[in-house]
Every structure is written in structure tokens, then in C-alpha cells.
Chain A
Amino acid sequence: MKTLHKHILVIACIGALTACGRSVEQQVLSDTGQNAILPLHETFLAESLSLSQATTEYCGLTERGEQALAALRGRWVGAMNAWEGIQSFQFGPVTEDNQAWKVQFWPDRKNLISRKTEQFVQRNSAITLGALQNASVVVQGLSAIEYLLYDTPAAALSATDVKGGDRYCQHLQAAAQNLHHVADFLYSSWHPDSGNYLRTWAKPNPDNLDYPDEQASIAALIETLVYGLERIKRDKLERPLALLNQGQANTYLLEWWRSKQSREAILINLHSLQLLFNAGGGEGLAALLEHHNGQALADNINTLFDRAVGVTASIEGSLFDNHGDGDTQLAIIQLHGLLGELLGALKREVPAKLNISLGFNANDGD
């Protein structure tokens, strides 16, 4: 009954919007931008600032200790979670100039993060923001900070004799500051008062190279959902946990294995992708599907998202430690299946229903 009311409301809104001269597609783009994209980027901006401030505070302490380190780790988790909210974006500022790499270097098959971070810290010259920005992306972002806070440097960072951890602290501060700069670039690039990529995306026109028409803007949104889900299924589950073959799991390929936050990252991914699908409670892709007689499909996708979130939340402990446990294995297999169903719906059924093409040459393989 509740669902019926929601549908009636959506149809009424769509009718009213059309009467006002704004197409359903325009409303979908506007609502998704205002209710989902901007808030997700704003959260990353706020959390990165919080982390940067916390590192400055931490490194200024005369006695650091385990408790202060735990608090700083908490701020890192906040920033990492906020990044997971926008990690899947396949359009907009995050795709420019290696921004995503500046934030996260993963997967790291060759353990470059450890090697390059140590090299960066142990060199003779001063560790400054400028030096960090001129160095490899490997030492710049959340991945490097995770190494500093959770791997070998953590002992030096929290030691009673703070001098031993000074170089690490300088790196920590520069990396957190740089992360905040990237987050600021991303947010301001989207924001109407600055770069206004929101307008570029939500107001397509034939001279707009990225979005010559509304179909292109909506396709970008669907591609982000597809990419985000594929990334979870393939890179965050199948590959590290050897789901599709008889090989051994390699938990060092899990995302955020050092901090054991792999499960949480998947949870945030799913939440933010569902938020995008529903335009944060506004008129999103779900409403557009309803407009195209795809109400059942929209409901099914939301149900699958809900189930995937539920299964992920039910996993106890970390994937790094518990991936081999019976209950965890069962949940991972369930989650994997649900992701497959979601991908099927978003890759095939949604584009067909909306008469949208998700790429032509990209699917070619020739």
C-alpha cells in the first residue's frame, strides 16, 4: 500500500513537472545532481578536511600514544567511507587528470605503497605538500595514509618518543592536506558557484561534447552504477577471494586490507549507488523507469539493492580475517549472486526500457 502511494505520488509529480515544461529526464538529472551527487561530494570534502585537521592536531601532540592514534584512524575511516561514496563515478571531475589515483592506489599487486612510501619518507629532502604532489600518486592518497596509520609506521607514529615518527607525521600531514585539495577540486568542480559541472551534465546540448543530449547524461549515470557494481563483484570479491576458480584467495588484494575495512567499503558503495539510482529520494532513474512503464523493474532493482546491503551488513568481522568462515562464505556467495542480478538489470533491462545505449565501440572487442 505504501508502495502504491509512492507510485501515485511519482506519477502525479511527473505529470505536474511535464505541465511546467520540464521533461522527466531534466528532472531526473536535476534531482540526481542536487540530492545525490553534490551531497556525496560535499561529504568527501568535509571528511577530508576533518582528517587533515586531525593529522595536524595529532602531529602537534607532545605525547601521541595508542589512544590518539585510534582517534586519528577514526578520522581516516570517515574520509575513506566518504570516498567510497563517489569512487564509482565514471563521469565528471573525478575522471580528470588521474584524480581517482591521487585518492586511492588499488589493487597494489607489487606492494608499491609500502615500498614507495618508505622511499619517500627516507629521502633527504623536506617532506612538503609540493614534494608530495610531485611524487608518484602511490604516496599521495588514502592508500598511503592507510599504510602510515595501520602498517609498520604506526608504531613509530604512536611511540612515546615522538621524534622517531616525525618524518612519517610530515608525510601524513602532506597526504591528508593533498587529499583535502583533491576533495575540494572535485566538489568545487561540480558546484554551481564554481566549476558547475552539474550544469554541463544536467543541461545537455548538441555543442556539449560530453553530453550532446539527455540520453547521454542518463547513460553516464547508468554506466556509473554498472561500473560500481562490477567493481564490487569483480575486484572486491571475485579476484581477492578466488570466487570463480579453484585458486587460493589472496586477501592482500582486498580493498583496505590493512585497516580491514573491505566489508564496510562495499556497504558504502551499495548505499551510495542506491542513492544515485533513487536521486536521494527525489525523481531519479527509478522514477524515470516508472515513467517508461518500468515500475516493476525499478522495484526489483531497489529490492536487490536492499538485499545486497542486508547480506553485506550481516557479515561479521572483516573479510580479511573471516572470508573462510562458513557463514561468511555463504554471505559472500549470496552477495555475489545479487550483484550479478543487479548488473543484469542495469546493463540490459534498464537501457532497453529507456532506449539508451551504454556504449557501442566500448563493447566491440575488435
Chain B
Amino acid sequence: MRRRELLKLGSVAMLASTFPAALQAANPARYFSAASNNNGKHFLCGWGDGRLQFQVPCPSRGHDVLINTRYHSAIFIARRPGNWLIAIDTNTGEKLVQISSEHGRHFYGHAALSHDERLLYASENNYAEGGSGVIGIYDCADSFKRLGEFSSGGIGPHQLVMLPGSQTLVIANGGILTLPDSQRDKLNIDTMQPSLTYIDTESAKILGQWQPPHHQLSLRHLDVSDDGTVAVGAQFEGPSSQTHPLLFSHKGEQRLRPFLAEDSDWRAHRHYIASVACAHGQVLATSPRGNCISLWQQGKLQQRERLHDVAGAAYDGRRQQFITSNGRGQLVGLGTDKLELAGREPQLRWDNHMSIAK
């Protein structure tokens, strides 16, 4: 079964655009992120061993990237309202497959893998029917054939993750209505209803749904720790003179639990969390508008560092530290008391998210 699946992916790869064999790296890429250059060109990149291992052109800005270890692929999803999904070989950068979103749907930039890495769940906008949120189901072993979809339980589903040890998907429904005809304009700021929604992927039933304390706190990015605690980051769409907690945790309680910090710490994030990453009981959040990285433990602020235009975040198990990326092409580790430069590609601007292979 596995061999047949791999052969199927391989045949797709042969049909897809090829990539110079010379770039098959002795030290494969471990950091994956979409990026753009100063000329407005967009790429899907693999970085490792201190240098850029490959950059594959893509049609528009990418957003998130998932690493599928089962198929040795990095799956990049277009930034909203993009309609492409591209899988590339993590070792070579070879483009394996590219698909377009279903008619009447576009991607929201994020997806999650089932625990066996066979299925992919992508957050999508059902704009053909008014902009309801759906989760598209794709078969990673069959050229990302679309198997179906189910409701996300809200408008504007953004990041989503599988809970450990279960078939439950946790989804950040941002609540913001956008439609392709009006590009990225926000159409329902006054009435938006964001939620953190748990859905059983086998029955597509909503298991639970939780709202943030203010209806204009758009829940967008999340991660889950090994014990199943969800950390979710918000972007506040209300008056900028107001201050609200922008991070919440949730694990079975009757409400989202706000992280604890001074108002001045929240204001430093400028109403905007771009990425959330969990590891070893800690949560790291990035804010490109606030030019800051914050590290949290048990819901309390531990450390805050400044980094310009920082957005991407992931934990590097080999370096045993969180790594962040920014719009200046920098890859920066969070040391115990300071930031550490891990690498820099001055010609690139790393896009919103990054993933790191183990």
C-alpha cells in the first residue's frame, strides 16, 4: 500500500515541473517557509545547513506549510484568497503536485494532517454560497484528490490542528467574512462571531465551540501542546485604543482562559498575533506589527524580545529552541535570555509561517 502510494505521488512528480537535480542537497532542508523577494516574485523555500537549499517559484504568496514525513513532502497552501496547494519533495525541492481549490472555494492558507498523514484538512471559503467556512478533505496519497468537505462551524476558518491521540480537529474560526470579489476587504466587522471549534473528523459533528470575550477578537492562529491544551492567538478588529488579551488557552474548560500580562505587554503586540507555537509546556507568539516575540508558560509572560517584522514560528528539536522568521530574511532562535541569529537570506522576505522537520 505504502509503495503504491509513493509510486502514485512519483508519477505526479514526473508530470509536474522538474527541478535541477544538482540541487539535491547532501544536507536536506529542514526549515520550510513561503517567501517573496523584493521584485514581487514568490517562492516555496527549503533552508538548512546554513543556507537556502531550494526555492521553487509559486503563483502568488504562500501562507502555511506542513511537513508530511510519510511522503517526504512539504505542503504549501496559498495565502487567502489563493486557490493553489503545492507539495514539494522535502529533500530535493522537486514539485510533486499542484492542485487548485474546488470551484466556488478558495483556501484560507492553512491545513492540518491526520495522524497517519494520509488525509489533509484545509480551511476554505465557500464563497459560492455566501462565504461560509468549510474544511476540505484531501487524499495525500492520491494527488490530493478532494474527498469531500464539512462545515467549519463558522465564518473565516483559519488555522486548524488535530488534537493528539484523537480524531478531533480544533479550528480557529476567525469570524471575518471576505469574498473574492472584494479581495481582502472585511465585510462583517460589526457582527463577526469568531470561535474556537472542535469537530470530530469522522462524523463531522461539532463537539464544542467557544467564543473569545470580545466578538471582535478574531481567533486565527493556534497550536496544541502534547497534553492537548490548545493555545490560540487573536487579532483584534475593534477600536485600537482598547486593550485585550490576545492569547487564550483551552482544554475542556467552559471558557477560553486568557493569558496573563500587563496591558502594556498586550499593547506591545499591537492587537496582532501572527503565529503560535507550542513545545515543552511553553507557548511562543509572534507579532510583526509589534515587532515582538513573546514566550509564555502556564499562561504567564516569561520573556518578550524585539524582532522586526517577525511572523513565522516553530520549535526546532535539534537546536532545542524556538525559531522565528521575519520579513528581513532572518531566521532567529529564542535563546534563554536573548535572540540568536540562525541564518539570513537577505534577498528574501519570509512569509507568515514556517515549519521545521524533526
Residues on A close to B: CB < 8 A? 90, 95-96, 98, 101, 107, 109, 136-137, 206-207, 209-210, 212-213, 216, 220, 234-235, 239, 253, 355, 357, 359-362, 364-366
Report chain A residues within 8 Å CB of B38. Answer: 355, 357
Q: Would you call A98 and B264 a contact (CB within 8 A)?
A: yes
Q: Would you call B339 and A239 a contact (CB within 8 A)?
A: no
| B64 (CB) vs chain A CBs: closest residue | A366
**A360 to B38 CA separation, bound complex (whole angstroms):** 10
Chain B 1-59 interface residues, beta-carbon cutoff 8 Å to A: 36, 38
**Does residue B170 face the partner (Cβ distance < 8 Å to A)?**
no
Q: Would you call B242 and A357 a contact (CB within 8 A)?
A: no
Total number of A-B contacts with CB less than 8 angstroms? 83
Report chain B residues within 8 Å CB of A220. Answer: 308
Q: Would you call A109 and B341 a contact (CB within 8 A)?
A: no
**Does residue B125 face the partner (Cβ distance < 8 Å to A)?**
no
**A95 to B36 CA separation, bound complex (whole angstroms):** 28
Q: Would you call B341 and A209 a contact (CB within 8 A)?
A: yes
Q: Would you call B341 and A361 a contact (CB within 8 A)?
A: no
| A98 (CB) vs chain B CBs: closest residue | B264
**Does residue B106 face the partner (Cβ distance < 8 Å to A)?**
no
**A212 to B346 CA separation, bound complex (whole angstroms):** 8
Report chain A residues within 8 Å CB of B276. Answer: none
Q: Would you call B241 and A235 a contact (CB within 8 A)?
A: yes
Report chain B residues within 8 Å CB of A234. Answer: 240
Q: Would you call B346 and A213 a contact (CB within 8 A)?
A: yes
In the complex, how many angstroms separate the beta carbon of A105 from the nearest chain B beta carbon? 9
Report chain A residues within 8 Å CB of B274. Answer: 361, 364, 366
**Does residue B344 face the partner (Cβ distance < 8 Å to A)?**
yes
Main secondary structure of the interface of A (DSSP, over half): loop
In the complex, how many angstroms separate the beta carbon of A247 from the nearest chain B beta carbon? 11
Known contacts A96-B306, A209-B341; A364/B241 CB under 8 A: no
Q: Would you call A253 and B241 a contact (CB within 8 A)?
A: yes
Known contacts A107-B241, A209-B332; A361/B310 CB under 8 A: yes
Residues on B close to A: CB < 8 A? 36, 38, 63, 79-80, 109, 184, 220, 235, 239-242, 262, 264-265, 267-268, 274, 288-289, 291, 306-311, 326-328, 330, 332, 339, 341, 344, 346, 349-352
**A300 to B211 CA separation, bound complex (whole angstroms):** 49
Known contacts A96-B306, A209-B332, A361-B288; A109/B241 CB under 8 A: yes
Known contacts A209-B332, A212-B330, A239-B241; A361/B264 CB under 8 A: no
5 contacts between A and B (CB under 8 A): A212-B346, A235-B241, A357-B38, A364-B274, A366-B63
In the complex, how many angstroms separate the beta carbon of B347 from the nearest chain A beta carbon? 11
Q: Would you call A216 and B328 a contact (CB within 8 A)?
A: yes
Q: Would you call B307 and A364 a contact (CB within 8 A)?
A: no
Known contacts A95-B306, A361-B309, A364-B311; A212/B327 CB under 8 A: no
Known contacts A98-B264, A212-B346, A239-B241; A362/B341 CB under 8 A: no
Q: Would you call A364 and B344 a contact (CB within 8 A)?
A: no
**A83 to B254 CA separation, bound complex (whole angstroms):** 46
Which of B240, B264, B327, B351 is within 8 Å of A357, CB to CB?
Answer: B327
| A109 (CB) vs chain B CBs: closest residue | B241
Q: Would you call A206 and B344 a contact (CB within 8 A)?
A: yes
**A90 to B308 CA separation, bound complex (whole angstroms):** 10
Most buried by A among B63, B241, B330: B241
Known contacts A109-B241, A216-B308; A360/B36 CB under 8 A: yes
**A207 to B265 CA separation, bound complex (whole angstroms):** 27
20 new A-B pairs (CB below 8 Å) besides A107-B241, A220-B308, A239-B241?
A90-B291, A95-B306, A98-B264, A98-B268, A101-B264, A109-B242, A206-B344, A206-B346, A209-B307, A209-B330, A209-B339, A357-B349, A359-B288, A359-B327, A360-B288, A360-B326, A361-B310, A364-B274, A364-B311, A365-B184
| B79 (CB) vs chain A CBs: closest residue | A366
Report chain A residues within 8 Å CB of B311. Answer: 361, 364
Report chain A residues within 8 Å CB of B291. Answer: 90, 95, 362
**A210 to B352 CA separation, bound complex (whole angstroms):** 19
**A220 to B352 CA separation, bound complex (whole angstroms):** 20
Q: Would you call A361 and B326 a contact (CB within 8 A)?
A: yes
**A98 to B265 CA separation, bound complex (whole angstroms):** 8
| A213 (CB) vs chain B CBs: closest residue | B346
Which of B184, B309, B344 is within 8 Å of A359, CB to CB?
Answer: B309
**A207 to B339 CA separation, bound complex (whole angstroms):** 11
Report chain A residues within 8 Å CB of B220. Answer: 366
**A212 to B239 CA separation, bound complex (whole angstroms):** 34
In the complex, how many angstroms separate the beta carbon of B240 from the nearest chain A beta carbon? 8
**A359 to B350 CA separation, bound complex (whole angstroms):** 11
Known contacts A212-B346, A213-B346, A355-B38; A361/B241 CB under 8 A: no
Q: Would you call A360 and B309 a contact (CB within 8 A)?
A: yes
Pairs A-B, 3 closest by C-beta atoms: A360-B327, A361-B311, A361-B288
**A359 to B240 CA separation, bound complex (whole angstroms):** 19
Most buried by B among A213, A234, A360: A360
Report chain A residues within 8 Å CB of B109. Answer: 366
Q: Would you call B349 and A360 a contact (CB within 8 A)?
A: yes
| B327 (CB) vs chain A CBs: closest residue | A360
| B348 (CB) vs chain A CBs: closest residue | A360
| A220 (CB) vs chain B CBs: closest residue | B308
Report chain B residues within 8 Å CB of A365. Answer: 184, 235
**A209 to B309 CA separation, bound complex (whole angstroms):** 12
Q: Would you call A212 and B309 a contact (CB within 8 A)?
A: no
**A111 to B242 CA separation, bound complex (whole angstroms):** 13
| B186 (CB) vs chain A CBs: closest residue | A365
In the complex, how many angstroms separate the beta carbon of A206 from the nearest chain B beta carbon? 6
| B158 (CB) vs chain A CBs: closest residue | A366
Most buried by B among A212, A355, A366: A366
| A364 (CB) vs chain B CBs: closest residue | B352
Known contacts A355-B38, A357-B349, A364-B311; A212/B241 CB under 8 A: no
| A102 (CB) vs chain B CBs: closest residue | B264
In the complex, how many angstroms separate the beta carbon of B125 from the nearest chain A beta carbon? 13
Report chain B residues within 8 Å CB of A90. Answer: 291
**A95 to B270 CA separation, bound complex (whole angstroms):** 13
| B329 (CB) vs chain A CBs: closest residue | A212
Which of B265, B268, B327 is within 8 Å of A361, CB to CB?
Answer: B327
Q: Would you call A362 and B309 a contact (CB within 8 A)?
A: yes
